[in-house]
Amino acid sequence: MAIKVSIVEDDPKAREILVDWINRAEGFQCVSHYGSGEEAATHLPQTRPDVILMDINLPGMTGPECVRQLKPRLSEAQFVMLTVYEDSDHIFQALQAGATGYLLKQTPRAGLIAALREVHQGGSPMTANIARQVVRAFHRAVPPQPALPELSARETEVLQLLARGFLYKEIADNLNVAVPTVNTYIRRIYEKLQVRSRTEAVARFAHLPIRDAGA
């Protein structure tokens, strides 16, 4: 079945381009699109999308506030913020509201489609710059924590690539392994760190003991 996507974007031209990108992508369907947070909050739950692509800087109701209102009514849907902002305040507003991914508006079509597929499969796509901002903010906000679980060298490699914003296929290509192998490593990482998403894993990344050898 096609991955159903809804778009919330106030710029008509940008919205038109995104709708076209989604509908031309194999395995995707744009089921609704809205020009404001208020319109989305009212009508979007009826379309039951799998993924919502949300502009952060909407007029009136902001993107994070729209996510905050919709998340309880669409608990199975994944929210991906699409924005020009890279500062940590905007990032954490969106993530705290319930967003699963955070992409910059200059993300090319192929990268955006790959990210939407990744978030539908359980990932938390972030561009590399955004992932670095999350790590930096975590460094500033949280003191080192003792007794964190130790990852293997290969698991650490995978986590480092996750923190740099790599998609699962890019990680597989970089490490010369199959995508299912990457999924296995990521599942082990999540289990060891007791997290459920890329965002949480990256946040804990700053304080992990790193092994120099072994896999």
CATH code where residue 113 lies:
3.40.50.2300
| Cα angle, residue 146 at apex, residues 129 and 207 outer, rounded to 5° | 15
Task: Express each pLDDT in 132-144 by its tens digit.
Answer: 666 666 555 545 5
Residue 81 and residue 134 in contact, taking contact as beta carbons nearer than 8 Å: no
Please indicate, yes or no, if residue 7 is contained in any of the structural domains: yes
Tell me if 139 is assigned to some domain.
Answer: no
For the chain, the straight-line distance linking the first and the last C-alpha, in angstroms and rounded, comes to 37
* Count of the separate structural domains present in the chain: 2
Residue range 50-96, pLDDT digits in tens? 999 999 888 899 898 999 999 889 988 999 988 887 666 777 777 77
Same domain (yes/no): 165, 106: no
Q: Please give the average per-residue pLDDT across 119-128, as a whole number.
A: 80
The answer to whether residue 214 is domain-embedded is no
Residues 108 and 159 in one domain: no
Question: Taking all residues of the chain, what is their mean pLDDT, rounded to a whole number?
Answer: 83
Query: pLDDT digits over 14-61, tens only?
Result: 999 999 999 999 999 999 999 999 999 999 999 999 999 999 888 899
Please report, rounded to a whole number, the percentage of residues in the chain having pLDDT higher than 90. 38
**Residue 165's closest CA among 202, 117, 214?**
202
Instruction: State the pLDDT at residue 88.
Output: 63
Say if 210 falls within a structural domain: no
The residue among 112 and 204 whose pLDDT is bigger is: 112
CB count in 10 Å sphere of residue 88 = 16
Q: Rounded to two decimals, what is the model's pTM? A: 0.63
pLDDT exceeds 80 at position 191: yes
Phi-psi region of 62 (alpha: psi -120 to 50; beta: other; left: phi over 0): beta
- Greatest extent of the chain over all pairs of C-alpha atoms, in Å: 54
Whether residues 15 and 77 share a domain: the answer is yes
Looking at residue 137, its pLDDT comes to 60
How confident is the model at residue 212, as a pLDDT? Answer: 37
d(CA 180, CA 39): 39
